[in-house]
Amino acid sequence: MEPIYAEESARHAQPLPLIPTPDRYAAIRSATESLCAPLSAEDAALQSMPDASPAKWHLAHTSWFFETFVLGPAVPGYRAPCAAYHHLFNSYYQSVGTPFLRPRRGLLSRPSFDEVVAYRRHVDAGMTDLLATPDIALRSGLLAVIELGLQHEQQHQELLLTDVKHLFFQNPLRPSYRVGAQTPGAAAVPEQSWREHPGGIARIGYDGPGFSFDNERPRHRRLLEPFALASRLVTNGEWMAFMADGGYERPEFWLSDGFDTARAGGWCAPLYWERGDGGWQLFTLSGMQRVCPEAPVCHVSAYEADAFARWAGARLPGEDEWEILAAGVAVEGNFVERGLLHPTSAGGEGDALRQLFGDVWEWTRSPYGPYPGYQPPAGALGEYNGKFMANQSVLRGGSCATAQAHLRASYRNFFPPSARWQFSGVRLARDLR
* Residue 316 exposure: Cα atoms within 13 Å on the Cβ side: 24
| Shortest reach from residue 133's CB to a second copy, in Å | 32
Tell me if 298 sits within 8 A of 395, measured CB to CB.
no
Q: What is the three-class DSSP state of 405?
A: helix
> What are the angstrom distances between the C-alpha of 142 and each of 137, 149, 255?
9, 11, 45
List, in sequence order, every residue forming a beta bridge with 393; answer none if it has no partner. 367, 415
Amino acid letter, residue 57: W
Sign of the four-CA dihedral 63, 377, 210, 421: negative
Instruction: Pick the closer one to a second copy by CB: 321 or 359.
Output: 321
Q: Which stretch binds a second copy (CB under 8 A): 169-177, 276-284, 332-340, 403-411?
A: 169-177
What does the alpha-carbon distance between residue 127 and residue 143 come to, in Å, rounded to a whole number? 11
Residues 7-46 that bind a second copy (CB under 8 A): 40-46
Q: What is the three-class DSSP state of 334?
A: strand
With CB under 8 A as the contact rule, the residue among 37, 185, 256, 264 that binds a second copy is 256
Centroid of chain to Cα 154: 9
* Residue 142 exposure: Cα atoms within 13 Å on the Cβ side: 17
Segments in 218-358 forming alpha helices (H): 236-244, 256-265, 302-311, 319-326
**Triad 97, 99, 101: Cα angle to 5°:** 155
| Shortest reach from residue 60's CB to a second copy, in Å | 13
| Shortest reach from residue 56's CB to a second copy, in Å | 8
| Shortest reach from residue 364's CB to a second copy, in Å | 11
Segments in 76-139 forming alpha helices (H): 85-88, 113-131
With CB under 8 A as the contact rule, the residue among 15, 141, 172, 185 that binds a second copy is 172
Q: 111, 77, 110, 80: which is closest to 97 by C-alpha?
A: 80
Q: Which stretch binds a second copy (CB under 8 A): 22-30, 251-259, 343-351, 354-362?
A: 251-259
Residues 109-148 that bind a second copy (CB under 8 A): 109-113
With CB under 8 A as the contact rule, the residue among 132, 223, 244, 264 that binds a second copy is 223
Instruction: Pick the closer one to a second copy by CB: 109 or 289.
Output: 109
| Shortest reach from residue 243's CB to a second copy, in Å | 19
Instruction: Pick the closer one to a second copy by CB: 306 or 362.
Output: 306
With CB under 8 A as the contact rule, the residue among 71, 150, 159, 167 that binds a second copy is 167
Tell me the Ramachandran region of residue 388: left when phi exceeds 0, alpha when psi lies from -120 to 50, beta otherwise.
Answer: alpha
Tell me if 204 sits within 8 A of 324, measured CB to CB.
yes
What does the alpha-carbon distance between residue 199 and residue 147 come to, in Å, rounded to a whole number? 35
| Shortest reach from residue 3's CB to a second copy, in Å | 25
Question: Can the peptide bond before residue 317 be classed as cis, meaning omega within 30 degrees of 0?
Answer: no
Instruction: Pick the closer one to a second copy by CB: 65 or 169.
Output: 169
Q: Please, which residues have CB within 8 angstroms of residue 282's CB and are 6 or more apart in sequence? A: 270, 272, 273, 274, 288, 289, 290, 291
With CB under 8 A as the contact rule, the residue among 69, 239, 254, 363 that binds a second copy is 254
Tell me if 31 sits within 8 A of 68, measured CB to CB.
no
Mask 288-317, x = binds a second copy (CB under 8 A)? ---------------x--------------
Residues 326-365 that bind a second copy (CB under 8 A): 365
| Shortest reach from residue 57's CB to a second copy, in Å | 12
Binding footprint of a second copy, residue count (CB under 8 A)? 61
Instruction: Pick the closer one to a second copy by CB: 11 or 315.
Output: 315
Instruction: Pick the closer one to a second copy by CB: 222 or 427.
Output: 222
Q: 226, 164, 219, 223: which is closest to 194 by C-alpha?
A: 226
Q: Which stretch binds a second copy (CB under 8 A): 153-161, 162-170, 347-355, 396-404?
A: 162-170
Q: Please, which residues have CB within 8 angstroms of residue 222's CB and are 6 or more apart in sequence? A: 201, 202, 203, 204, 320, 324
Mask 358-387, x = binds a second copy (CB under 8 A)? -------x-x-xx-xx--------x----x
Q: Which stretch binds a second copy (CB under 8 A): 122-130, 189-197, 257-265, 352-360?
A: 257-265
Mask 80-99, x = binds a second copy (CB under 8 A)? ----x--xx---x-xx----
**Residue 211 in the binding site for a second copy (CB under 8 A):** no
**Interaction site with a second copy (CB under 8 A):** 40-46, 48, 56, 84, 87-88, 92, 94-95, 100, 104, 106-113, 167-168, 170-173, 175, 201, 220-223, 225, 251-252, 254-259, 303, 365, 367, 369-370, 372-373, 382, 387-391, 417, 431
